[in-house]
Chain A
């Protein structure tokens, strides 16, 4: 009725089997506003947006856009209504180039069956320039960072003429600088009468960017607030239902002997470019060593070399003096390295396996999970029941669910539960809280700290400076494949680290 609403979703309910993911949820988004949706992991945010975008059909309820009732059955319908969506987990073809991915499904045709790449390229270049997206259109998706992949997704939606843009956790992979830029872009867009719906767990971003915020918890509406009249603390409380601590209690670091030693490491990427170039560092027992750096400065290759996924050119990696460089992922695991990988869906989980199966991915061949090569399902299931309860992997009974049916944040919690329960001596965590809600982050941070207090060494590779500063005992700044400086956490401040990350000397 009211034409000033770009999107109205009325009493939306959605069941997955017997499980109620959404229970009479309402969402009203005004034209030209930035509307945030806030909720815990598994609250139903992605599901609600998937209904708006035509991926799922609601079991009941109505969807209106621009004052008219719509039946959105497929994403195609949504696109034709000017709705675009950037998913939490990207939907790109790995072996295609950036350009090919952007025009996929919406190709300009030069003649029958001939794609007009030139025209498309010019158009996309302009879009990218308008929004200050610095991307190489001819690079293959598999060769670019997750952060870059996301820009591709955003441009893809814009290229399709979206007026209403849904962003599902767009910032979880961006650097602070990139987040600033994205927020500028969003403001730019609403000035051009575009409407943005953004899902994010980062309260500061909501405060900085959004006009209105709808809060849902366990599939139910909790509140709708004007952002101007609220604060981070209130939002967190609304969302979780209790007060949340933003700071962590940190005990004094009791550093033991050296655990992981990396010396003069050189690693090349697939294109034979030296990404890690003479990197050295030492990780001690009972400490958290944070690696801070701008995306693409060798973090990925460092991770891959430490886990033996990629062969190092030279240098050495030792754990307790034992050489583990260029062995195999299993050997590094057996040597005591547990890893939380960057991309949970690609490297962390087998989505078509149940959570119970995923929980033993590295150790299924060991007792008690199997004996003489025969799986013990009872033990595997009990292990998963225990871990999902302990780490609050929702919904109840998630142990028996297909991993792919869990919400993004709960998938992440499952990986964290598995890796910490591996009880290795070194934990390599890449963006461990990516996509987690504030309550879950609080929990995971405490879990990581308690590992450290037990004498484990934690190598924390994160693009989130906040997190690095909050957790680390020492901060190593990586730039151009080298550690340019290691600073004691007490002396580290955002400004100084930021300067080093950008390649500034002598900070």
Chain B
């Protein structure tokens, strides 16, 4: 009977996730040992590299912002039974539109910022809506159109950067978004005479976190989006319909919920959030512009990991996004302090993702094990 309770306990998603994380670290430790490093030291370095200074943690939050959002983006599509692997392309769409609107239009601060992110979300949302439309109207699988859009957007962005009105002379990048569109924390004060003086004079680590990083309001917006999406699904008719379509499209359809419309809506919301991620990178982080890319930056795929580790929930994605970026940011300290390759963290993350993805399989294995014991009893 205790076996049953252990198994029931293991079936709770949060337990599975924490277990996967623990095993991920254990596997990482083994690899480190084999490679001749002390895992305790390496993980110590990781920990210090994240928590020993406010500046470090500020960096972690800054880097977590886009992946929290692409994570939520994945969650939204998934709730309606869709697999949005196009958040990379939607991210690029958002960044590109943000850079254009941020650099070509002149508006007062705050208002400029709002216009920039709205424009980026609308543009990316339309891209997502197109994917949804292709699926509902012509049965084009969303994965296929998403992959195509990822590449189309990459090349479109690269092309735009070559245009004379947008290219910054002498660089492989676009012109910067104007300061009025930035979302950097205390930007005016930070760059003013007295601000600079005050910060330089202070040896507070908090001042350092403010001055030496791109600390910006993006993380707050990501949290607001997470809560908003959570409430959308919990408390609104739209959210109800989107979930119903995701779980049982047959019943939803018979009940008068338009499956086609829901697919388009879900993809549009999902993509708009990925676009927001791109826009916030432009408004919040140096150098506030888009650059030529030879390949994707990986925000989309990181988002899938974040969504998975976050248990498929928007709120969970906040925590898993921060966790993910702690590992990737802290891995640099492992490298500098112990000499072990920082890629070790990729292994840890990889193991965690695999374990979560196959956690149902683990439960099955547990079942199988007790079944074997049963068979032995039968034969004996």
Please list the residues of chain A having a beta carbon within 8 angstroms of any beta carbon in chain B: 54, 57, 59-60, 68-74, 76-77, 307, 309, 328-331, 333-334, 339, 341, 346-353, 357, 361-362, 364-365, 370, 373-375, 377
Contact = CB atoms under 8 A, between A and B. Distances in A.
A69 B236 CA distance: 53
A373 B238 contact: yes
Contact of B254 (A57, A59, A72, A309): A309
B237 A375 contact: yes
Contacts of B368: 74
A57 B4 contact: yes
A57 B243 CA distance: 31
Contact of B256 (A341, A362, A374): A362
A332 to B, nearest CB: 8
B368 to A, nearest CB: 7
Contacts of A71: 371, 373-375, 377-378
A350 B244 contact: yes
A59 B4 contact: yes
Interface in B216-266: 235-238, 240-241, 243-244, 247-248, 250-258
Nearest to A346: B250
Nearest to A362: B255
B256 to A, nearest CB: 3
Interface string B350-380: 0000000000000000011011011101100
B371 A309 contact: no
A333 B373 CA distance: 55
Main secondary structure of the interface of B (DSSP, over half): helix
A377 B378 CA distance: 51
B256 A77 contact: no
Nearest to B234: A375
A357 B240 contact: yes
Contacts of B1: 59-60
Q: Which 3 A-B pairs have the closest CB atoms?
A: A71-B374, A330-B256, A73-B371
Contacts of B253: 309, 329
26 contacts: A70-B374, A71-B378, A73-B374, A74-B367, A77-B374, A77-B375, A309-B254, A329-B253, A330-B258, A331-B256, A334-B256, A339-B254, A346-B248, A346-B250, A347-B250, A348-B254, A350-B247, A361-B251, A362-B256, A364-B240, A364-B241, A373-B236, A373-B237, A373-B238, A374-B235, A375-B235
Given A77-B375, A375-B235, 9 more contacts: A69-B377, A71-B371, A71-B373, A339-B254, A346-B251, A365-B237, A375-B236, A375-B240, A377-B235
Interface in B1-39: 1, 4
Contacts of A357: 240
A351 B248 contact: yes
Contact of A353 (B247, B371, B377): B247
Interface residues of B, number: 30
Contacts of A362: 255-256
B244 A74 contact: no
Contact of A350 (B4, B237, B248, B378): B248
A76 B364 CA distance: 12
Contacts of B252: 350, 361
Contacts of A331: 256
Contacts of A341: 254
Contact of B367 (A60, A73, A328, A365): A73
Most buried by A among B236, B248, B250, B368: B248
A349 B248 contact: yes
A76 B4 CA distance: 19
Contacts of A333: 255-256
A209 B243 CA distance: 45
Contacts of B258: 328, 330
B256 A328 contact: yes
Contacts of A74: 367-368, 371
A201 B251 CA distance: 26
B371 A77 contact: yes
Contacts of B373: 71
B374 A374 contact: no
A40 to B, nearest CB: 26
Contact of A349 (B240, B251, B378): B251
Contacts of A377: 235
Contacts of B250: 346-347
Contacts of A69: 377
Most buried by A among B252, B256, B257, B371: B256
Contacts of B248: 346, 349-352
Nearest to A329: B256
Contacts of A76: 371
Nearest to A15: B4
A76 B378 CA distance: 14
Contacts of B238: 373
Contacts of B254: 307, 309, 329, 339, 341, 347-348
B277 to A, nearest CB: 26
Contact of B255 (A57, A329, A346, A351): A329
Contacts of B236: 370, 373-375
Contacts of A365: 237
Contacts of A364: 237, 240-241
B237 A370 contact: yes
Nearest to A365: B237
A331 B255 CA distance: 10
A370 to B, nearest CB: 5
B255 A72 contact: no
A361 B254 CA distance: 9
Nearest to A377: B235
